[in-house]
Structures are given as C-alpha cells and as structure tokens.
Structure 1
Amino acid sequence: MYEKTYPNKRFKLTLQFLQKHVNLSDSILDLGVKNPFSEIMISEGYSVENTTGKDLDEERSEIEDSSAKVVTAFEIFEHFLSPYEVLKSIKADRILISVPLKLWFASAYRSKTDMRDRHYHEFEDWQLDWLLEKTGWIIKDRQKWTNPVKKFGIRPILRHFTPRYYIVYAERGINSKA
C-alpha cells in the first residue's frame, strides 16, 4: 500500500493525532494564515478555514464569529502575547493545540527581520495544561515528540532525547461556555 510522505516528522505525527480526534465531517478553524499543514489537512479531506492574518491578540472576531466544530492551533500559541484571551474567545467545543516546548539548552526563537515572527512564550507542558484548564478546557489526550536534526554537536545530540513538541486535544468543560 502507498503511504504518503510529509516534509517532516512533526507534520506526520500532527496528522496522526488529528486523525485520532477529528472526523472528516468536522469543520475546522485553523488559527493562522493558510500554511503547509493546513494544505495537508485539506488534501486529507478536512474542511479547513484559516484566519486571515489579523493580529489575534488584538482582533478576535474571526474566532468569535466562526461556527467551526474544531479549532486547531499548530505552532501559533507561542506567538501570542495573550493566549489566555484567544482561548477564552473560542466558541468551538474541541481544540487541538501544538506548541514547541521550552528547551533548557536553546534560547527562545526570535526573528531579527520579522517583528511578528517571535516566540513570546515557549511553554513547558504543565504551563499549556494550566492555561487550558484555567480557560475551561479539559485535556483528553496529549503527546510529545523529539525533533532530531542531522547536524553535529551537543545540541543536535540533545534533540534526539529531549521532547521539542507538545500536542494536546481538549474539550470545553460543561460550565465554561461563553
């Protein structure tokens, strides 16, 4: 049988996690502009709508007005100044979030040329869990994975053993609807 290949391990594992928790019949609001992974979701048969690139810290109407059944947020929450407010504005009952984990041996990512391309938060797993719980979400499943690179050095070796990505599937708590 033919198996599809993806540009990296993160996409393959993210897709497997998505397929475990989201049916093809579920509409998805993917936070962030159209990107390679939203294209993969569409090619797999999912109905995906992306936000248009507005600053979701300041303008959340696209989230608040969405009728999607599921919200996905793959490697975007670390870019928000206020992920708490973004989570509170979600109307869907289910969410999948993945974030890069804080690495003790590497600084937070910061583009020198693009002011929007910075990590304001690099989470430890317990911090994302706490943020979700505080905003009324109940975590149903979670997974971590490493991100080895084909380079030499101490940090590349540590990347073989240290989890880099954390993904969570959560459902809205009974009493937390806005």
Structure 2
Amino acid sequence: MSNLIGTTDYPCIRRDPTPRPGLALIGDAATASDSVSAVGCGWTFRSAAWLADATAETLAAGGNLQRALRSYRRARHFIDKYDALGRQEALAKPPALLQRAVRAAAVTNPDIARRVAMFAMRADDPSVLLNFKVAVRAFAGSRLLRLRGESSITPARQSAGTHERAGSAPAHGS
C-alpha cells in the first residue's frame, strides 16, 4: 500500500491545436487538464487518429492542408468538452448535488451506470451523462432511496459478511 498523492493545483493547459500553418499539436501538447490517469494517453491516440484522418488524403494529393487542419480542429471539440469539465475537477471542490445524485443513482439504475461508464471512459460525448433526462432520473432515484430509508451513499469498503442483507449470498464466496 502506498500513500495517496493528490493536488489542488493541477496544471490545466490548453493550446490551439493548429497554432501555425502546417503545424498540428496532439495529446498533452494541445490539452492537459484531466487529472484521471491515462486519459492524456487516450487523447493523444485519438487526436493522432483524427489528425491522420483529416490530413492523409490531402497530403497525398498535395491539397490544401489548412482546410484539412480545420477538420482536425473540429474533431477535437470532443476533447474540449471534457477539458472544460476537467478544469472544474482540478479545483478539487466537493462534488455538486447533481454529481452526488448521479453517482448514487448509478448504483441501482443500470442505464445511468452505463452512462457513467461511457462518460468515465471518455467513450461518448459528455452529454451522454450531463443532460436533463439523466438529471431528473438521478434526483428521482436518490429521492426514492431516501423515502425507502436507504442511504444514497454506499460505503466504499465493507468487510465480508458484516453488511449483508438477509437472504443474500455472502460476499466474495466466503
């Protein structure tokens, strides 16, 4: 076991992905703001693929590279949306009421759980999770939990056999 290391001053860097004619930046050279491990590597591979997709044909044909780089810039808007959220997370403030409701709802609602997973993997646009429909369902779910007398926050770690409900199977086969 090692010590937990964190920061409340995570450096958020965003640069123009096409700062000069014929120059394109990918990965952390363009955007570094998500403190979640390995996300930067994912952005690097994705932006490299977007850059190749946007420019390969044009470069092979000797066409207008600036137009191709505009296409690359448009593809990177996906990263920019996550970048804005990453900048908020980097402030290390307590989670907002909506964040807490969505996390609580993901425990019991398979659709919201799937959306949280897609969001966490950066596999879909942030709107997969951050939209009115999900917010309503999350708040309704957390309200129902409170009405039933259940906690909307699940303990991170439970010792085997100590917090099981009657009739449920023991945790981890014990």
TM bucket, shorter chain: under 0.3
Name the structure where strand makes up a greater proportion of residues: 1
Please tell me whether Structure 1 or Structure 2 has the larger radius of gyration of its CA atoms. Answer: 2
Query: TM-score scaled to structure 1, two decimals?
Result: 0.23
Name the structure where helix makes up a greater proportion of residues: 2
Query: TM-score scaled to structure 2, two decimals?
Result: 0.23
